[in-house]
Each structure stands twice: as C-alpha cells, then as structure tokens.
Amino acid sequence: MPTRKTFSENLNPALKFISTPEAAETEEPKRKPTSTPAGYKPNPLYIETKSRRVQLVMQPSLYTKLKHRADSEGESVNETLHAILEKAFREEQ
C-alpha cells in the first residue's frame, strides 16, 4: 500500500525551484543609459519613448490595407501606423 507524503517539516516543495535573492542580485540587470556619453549630443528623436496605448477602432477593409502595407515594408502594424501619423503631422506643420 502506498504511503502518503507528509510535509511535517513545513517545507514547501515549490521552494526547490525558486531562486534565492542572493542569486538574483549577482546578475547585473541591463539598463538603458540615462545620460549621453561624454562627447555625444542627445538626439531629440530618440529621447521620447513609446509608452502610451491607444485603442483604435477601424473598418476591416482599412485594417487589411494597413496590414498589407506593413507586411510589404517588413514592419509591424504599429510601426507603420506610427510612421503614417508622424508623416501627417510633419506635413501639417
């Protein structure tokens, strides 16, 4: 007859798979530089990050055209739409 497992030692078996904080601290996280290196000037085109999300509702036919254009340029739909909007605002000014 099989015996039941007992956890009388109050050890959680999942802790065997979780790393300790000391191991996580030894690895240095990769960070983006917060300032420009000496001798370089900051480029305003690359200072702003894409961090805003917008929910956009469009007609399926328009999305199909956008997706086809993005695929032909080898970009994502987001990148293509971003480029179209940038061009429209540049022309507006």
Instruction: Check pLDDT > 70 for residue 80.
Output: yes
Under 8 Å CB-to-CB from 1, ≥6 apart: which residues? none
> What pLDDT does 32 receive?
59
For the question of whether the overall pTM of this predicted structure is more than 0.75, the answer is no
Tell the residue number behind the tokens 């739909």, with chain if given: 77
Instruction: Check pLDDT > 90 for residue 51.
Output: no
Tokens of 90: 């540049």
The mean of the pLDDT values for the chain is: 78
Phi and psi, residue 46, nearest 5°:
-110, 5
> What pLDDT does 10 receive?
64
Domain boundaries, the chain: 59-93
> What pLDDT does 52 receive?
77
